[in-house]
Amino acid sequence: MRKVTTLGLLGTGVIGGGWAARALHFGIDVIAADVKPEMEEWIRGAVANAEPALQRLTSAPLPPKGTLSFTTDLKVMAQRADFIQENIPEQLPLKQRMLAEVSRHAAADVIIASSTSGLTPTDLQRDMAAPERFCVAHPFNPVYLLPLVELVGGQKTSQSTIDAAAKFFTYIGMHPLHVRREIPGHLTDRLQEALWREILHMVNDGIATTGELDESIIYGPGLRWAAMGTNLIYHLAGGESGMRHMLAQFGPCLKWPWTKLEAPELTESLIDKMVEGTQAQAAGRSIRELERLRDDYLVAIQQVLRQYNIGAGATLRSLEERLFKDASAGHALPAVESAAPMRLLDAVVRPEWVDYNRHMSDFRYGQVFGDAMEPLFRQIGVDEAYRATGRMYYTVENHIRHVGEAKMGESLYVTAQLLEADDKRLHIFQRMFRGRDDQQVATADQMYLHVDTAAAKASAADPKVRAKVEQILRAQAALSRPAEAGRAVGLGKS
């Protein structure tokens, strides 16, 4: 497969907008094609709406953002794209016709994927040119935050197509799940539909409201599902004997007539109950307001799961490791050849970082300065592999001065100057600036000590690390020492 630098979108809408936002954020150009010219304004708005959440997803160094272009000419999109993602309405004849057409204009080595939630790839690839490069790539809304993408091949799909698609989706921070046998609805939607049918039955029969049924998930199994799914949770329910005991104890319940496999008739009465229930749950909040709320908690959940390297958090951690590795190869980390402070980190003040005045809380300044050290450590060679040997730099002194304010949603960036270093110590001075006006808002005067955790004492850094530290010192030798460095705390003498 060719290197993907431009993603082509066949159709826009909610799913197309989500694909665009995710790809652009991770440095992929996007060309979107839609028969309706007014969809250009829509997709640009969708990308802008997604950006605040994406900015908070990770503080790892990102490549330059991709550029978005729009066309009503399918041929233009197909000829410019390195990978094409179809997102048109879920109508088999329409999809077959459009996929066949785009396949005649795209180069033979361009993968064409469909976002279909239920149609099978064998049916969709029927009339395509080079159908072996087609697969289903079914995402989940919001595509820019949820990492799952189901990859399904048809009878004519090559394994190399599945492998190449998985590589591309992993690159933009997703978790590709290969569905080994094509089946209508794939995997996840079939599971969701089973739950959905039961919801409709219970609302239709007057057993519960939509709000009560959502609470039954939110406060219970939904919390468990986020990290372990259903099967592993049931394995835990069996105690030391695991799933075998679980099935022996609760298996007979499966024969009880609890559930109804057939969906109820969608009568006007049932539709009214569903609409009234969800409107009550929305409590006057607009769809955009609810989308922002959803995005905020999805970011927070993934960051928590990242700490435990499980579920979507493991995908996020893997993405960050790749971003740092790319950056350390020279793609995004600050250059050390120029005599200037290194720009280490770009961040956005998150809602959970602010106090009652809606300004960033004091302790968050330390967090941002600490996060900024990660790319510097990686640049000098202190990465996962180095830390696995039991060696790391630890903070022994940290003096933060607050000289300005940062409000919720404002962009920040951090620069650093390496003042002094020896075999064991690094003396670093950092400055934090607001992005909108380059106003300095804080400084940090820090001393780090290299420690061998196995020996539980300070130790000399590896010679390769030391050599990279010396490279930075030489590059910054002409910089003036910050006047604030080494300042004491106190009122001073009159």
Cα separation of 18 and 11, whole Å? 12
Domain boundary among 242, 261, 284: 284
Domain boundary among 186, 212, 245: 186
Task: Specify whether 170 is located in the same domain as 251.
Answer: no
Task: Specify whether 93 is located in the same domain as 206.
Answer: no
Task: Specify whether 354 is located in the same domain as 426.
Answer: yes
Task: Specify whether 340 is located in the same domain as 384.
Answer: yes
CA angle 282, 287, 290 (to 5 degrees): 65
Domain boundary among 186, 203, 226: 186
Task: Specify whether 94 is located in the same domain as 53.
Answer: yes
Say if 115 falls within a structural domain: yes
Q: Can you tell me the mean pLDDT for 364-368?
A: 93
Q: Please give the tally of structural domains in the chain.
A: 3
Say if 243 falls within a structural domain: yes
Tens of pLDDT, residue by residue over 382-392, are 988 899 999 99
Task: Specify whether 225 is located in the same domain as 243.
Answer: yes
E strands present in 258-356: 342-348
Residue 477 tokens, joined: 């030798």
H-helix segments, 350-462:
362-379, 384-388
Tens of pLDDT, residue by residue over 144-196, are 999 999 999 999 999 999 999 999 999 999 999 999 999 999 999 999 999 99
Task: Specify the range with the lowest mean pLDDT, choosing from 147-161, 251-265, 294-308.
Answer: 251-265
Residue 33 is inside which H or E element, if any? strand 29-33
Cα separation of 173 and 316, whole Å? 7
Task: Specify whether 179 is located in the same domain as 37.
Answer: yes
Return the closest-CA partner of residue 320 out of 419, 330, 403, 309: 309
Say if 101 falls within a structural domain: yes
CA angle 152, 153, 158 (to 5 degrees): 140
CATH of the domain at 232: 1.10.1040.10
CA-atom Rg of the chain in angstroms: 27
Task: Specify whether 387 is located in the same domain as 440.
Answer: yes
Q: How many helices (H) and strands (E) does the chain have?
A: 17, 14
Burial 228-261 (b: 16+ CB within 10 A, else e): eeeeeebbeebeeeeeeebeeeeeeeeeeeeeee
Measure Cα distances from 12 to 25, 35, 294, 295 in Å.
17, 10, 21, 20
Task: Specify whether 352 is located in the same domain as 428.
Answer: yes
CATH of the domain at 31: 3.40.50.720
Task: Specify whether 353 is located in the same domain as 409.
Answer: yes
pLDDT, residue 330, reads 56
Tens of pLDDT, residue by residue over 59-89, are 888 889 999 999 999 999 999 999 999 999 9
For residue 67, what are the domain limits? 6-186
CATH of the domain at 354: 3.10.129.10
Mean pLDDT, the chain, integer: 91
Task: Specify whether 397 is located in the same domain as 381.
Answer: yes
pLDDT, residue 103, reads 98
What percent of the chain lies above the pLDDT cut of 90?
Answer: 70
pLDDT, residue 67, reads 98
Task: Say if residues 118 and 185 touch (Cβ distance below 8 Å).
Answer: yes
Q: Can you tell me the mean pLDDT for 11-37?
A: 97
pTM of the model: 0.82
Residue 464 tokens, joined: 């390769």
Say if 369 falls within a structural domain: yes
Q: Can you tell me the mean pLDDT for 372-387?
A: 90
Task: Specify whether 40 is located in the same domain as 180.
Answer: yes
Tens of pLDDT, residue by residue over 111-142, are 999 999 999 999 999 999 999 999 999 999 99
